[in-house]
A and B are shown apart, each in its own frame.
Chain A
Amino acid sequence: MSGVGAGRRFSLTRWASTGFSALALLTLLAIVSLFLWQALPVWKLEGTGFVTREKWFYRQDQYGAAPMIYGTLAVAAVAMILAAPVGIGAAIYCACFLPPRLRLGFKVAIELLAGVPSVVYGLLGILLLRDWVYVALERFDVLSGDSLLTAGILLAVMILPTLITLADDALYHVPLSRRLAARGLGLTCTETILHVTLPHAWRGVLAALLLALGRACGEMIAVFLVVGRQDNQWPEKLWSPRPLIEAGQTLSTKLGSSETNIAYGNPVHWSAIVGVGLLLLFIVTTVTIIGSKVGLLGKRHET
Chain B
Amino acid sequence: MKVKSLQLFLSFLLSASPAWAEALKINGSTTVNLPATEAAEVLRNEKKMEIQLDTQGGSSGGISMLGEGLVHLGMSSKHVSDDDRKKFPKCDYKEIQVGEDAVALVVSKDVWDGGVKSLGKEQVAAIYEGRIKNWKDVGGPDKRIAFFNKEPGRGTWEVFVHWVYGDPKKAPQVSFPEVGGNEEGRNKVASTKGAITQLSSSWADGKTAFALSLKVGDKDVSPETEYIASGEYPMSRPLFLLSNGEATGTAKEFADFMLSPRGQEFVRKHGYLALADLKR
The answer to whether B64 touches A146, judged by C-beta atoms less than 8 angstroms apart, is no
A57 at interface, CB cutoff 8 A: yes
List residues of B (173-201) whose CB comes within 8 Å of A's CBs. Answer: 173, 175-180, 184, 187-188, 191-192, 194-195
Given A38-B6, A60-B173, A144-B192, answer yes or no on A261-B61 (Cβ-Cβ < 8 Å).
Answer: yes
A303 at interface, CB cutoff 8 A: no
B263 at interface, CB cutoff 8 A: no
Which chain B residues lie closer than 8 Å to A145 at the CB level? 191-192
The answer to whether B151 touches A257, judged by C-beta atoms less than 8 angstroms apart, is yes
A131 at interface, CB cutoff 8 A: yes
Which chain A residues lie closer than 8 Å to B144 at the CB level? 141, 143
A228 to B87, CA, bound (A): 30
The answer to whether A229 touches B177, judged by C-beta atoms less than 8 angstroms apart, is yes
Question: Residue-by-residue, is B56-93 near A (CB-CB < 8 Å gives 1, otherwise 0)?
Answer: 01101101100000000000000000000011100000
Minimum CB–CB distance for A276 against chain B, Å: 16
Question: In chain B, what residue has the closest Cβ to A62?
Answer: B173
Question: Residue-by-residue, is A244-274 near B (CB-CB < 8 Å gives 1, otherwise 0)?
Answer: 0001000000000111111011010010000
The answer to whether A258 touches B177, judged by C-beta atoms less than 8 angstroms apart, is no
A257 to B175, CA, bound (A): 14
B131 at interface, CB cutoff 8 A: no
The answer to whether B57 touches A260, judged by C-beta atoms less than 8 angstroms apart, is yes
Which chain B residues lie closer than 8 Å to A141 at the CB level? 144
Given A34-B9, A143-B146, A259-B153, answer yes or no on A267-B57 (Cβ-Cβ < 8 Å).
Answer: no
**Which residue from B87, B173, B177 sits with its C-beta under 8 Å from A230?**
B177
A113 at interface, CB cutoff 8 A: no
Contact residue range for chain B?
35 or more
The answer to whether A144 touches B153, judged by C-beta atoms less than 8 angstroms apart, is no
A80 to B184, CA, bound (A): 28
The answer to whether B9 touches A257, judged by C-beta atoms less than 8 angstroms apart, is no
Which chain A residues lie closer than 8 Å to B175 at the CB level? 230-233
Which chain B residues lie closer than 8 Å to A258 at the CB level? 57-58, 60-61, 151-154, 180
Which chain A residues lie closer than 8 Å to B86 at the CB level? 265
Count of A-B contacts judged by CB separation below 8 Å: 82
The answer to whether A59 touches B169, judged by C-beta atoms less than 8 angstroms apart, is yes
The answer to whether A267 touches B2, judged by C-beta atoms less than 8 angstroms apart, is yes
Question: In chain A, what residue has the closest Cβ to B191?
Answer: A131
A264 to B177, CA, bound (A): 23
Question: In chain A, what residue has the closest Cβ to B68?
Answer: A264
The answer to whether B178 touches A257, judged by C-beta atoms less than 8 angstroms apart, is yes
A134 at interface, CB cutoff 8 A: yes
A130 at interface, CB cutoff 8 A: yes
Question: Residue-by-residue, is A32-71 near B (CB-CB < 8 Å gives 1, otherwise 0)?
Answer: 0010011000000000000000000111100000000000
Which chain B residues lie closer than 8 Å to A126 at the CB level? 187
List residues of B (37-59) whose CB comes within 8 Å of A's CBs. Answer: 57-58
The count of chain A contact residues (Cβ–Cβ below 8 Å) is 34
Which chain B residues lie closer than 8 Å to A146 at the CB level? 177, 188
A257 to B60, CA, bound (A): 11
**Which residue from B64, B176, B191 sits with its C-beta under 8 Å from A264?**
B64
Question: Residue-by-residue, is B155-176 near A (CB-CB < 8 Å gives 1, otherwise 0)?
Answer: 0000000000000010001011
The answer to whether A265 touches B192, judged by C-beta atoms less than 8 angstroms apart, is no
B3 at interface, CB cutoff 8 A: yes
List residues of A (134-151) whose CB comes within 8 Å of B's CBs. Answer: 134, 141, 143-146
A126 to B191, CA, bound (A): 10
Given A230-B178, A262-B153, answer yes or no on A59-B173 (Cβ-Cβ < 8 Å).
Answer: yes
A261 to B63, CA, bound (A): 9
Minimum CB–CB distance for A143 against chain B, Å: 5
List residues of A (15-41) whose CB comes within 8 Å of B's CBs. Answer: 34, 37-38
**Which residue from A228, A259, A267 sits with its C-beta under 8 Å from B3?**
A267
List residues of B (128-157) whose CB comes within 8 Å of A's CBs. Answer: 144, 146, 148, 151-154
Minimum CB–CB distance for B28 against chain A, Å: 10
Minimum CB–CB distance for B175 against chain A, Å: 4
Residue from B63, B144, B152, B195 whose CB has the most chain A CB atoms within 10 Å: B152
Residue from A134, A144, A257 whose CB has the most chain B CB atoms within 10 Å: A144
Question: Residue-by-residue, is A215-254 near B (CB-CB < 8 Å gives 1, otherwise 0)?
Answer: 0000000000100111111000000000000010000000
Question: In chain A, what residue has the closest Cβ to B60?
Answer: A261
A58 to B188, CA, bound (A): 26
Question: In chain A, what residue has the closest Cβ to B84?
Answer: A265
The answer to whether B178 touches A261, judged by C-beta atoms less than 8 angstroms apart, is no
Minimum CB–CB distance for B57 against chain A, Å: 4
Minimum CB–CB distance for B85 against chain A, Å: 11
Which chain B residues lie closer than 8 Å to A37 at the CB level? 2
Minimum CB–CB distance for A165 against chain B, Å: 32
Show 21 residue pairs from A and B whose CB-CB distance is below 8 angstroms, ordered by the A residue: A34-B6, A37-B2, A58-B173, A59-B173, A131-B191, A143-B192, A144-B148, A144-B177, A144-B195, A146-B177, A229-B178, A230-B175, A230-B178, A257-B180, A258-B57, A259-B152, A261-B60, A261-B63, A264-B3, A264-B87, A265-B88
- If A144-B195, A230-B176 are given as contacts, then 14 extra A-B residue pairs at C-beta distance below 8 Å, sorted by A number, are A57-B173, A58-B173, A60-B173, A130-B191, A225-B184, A230-B177, A232-B175, A258-B60, A258-B152, A258-B153, A258-B180, A259-B151, A265-B88, A270-B3
Kindly list the 6 A-B residue pairs having the minimum CB-CB distance in the complex, ordered from nearest: A265-B87, A228-B177, A247-B177, A57-B173, A261-B60, A232-B175
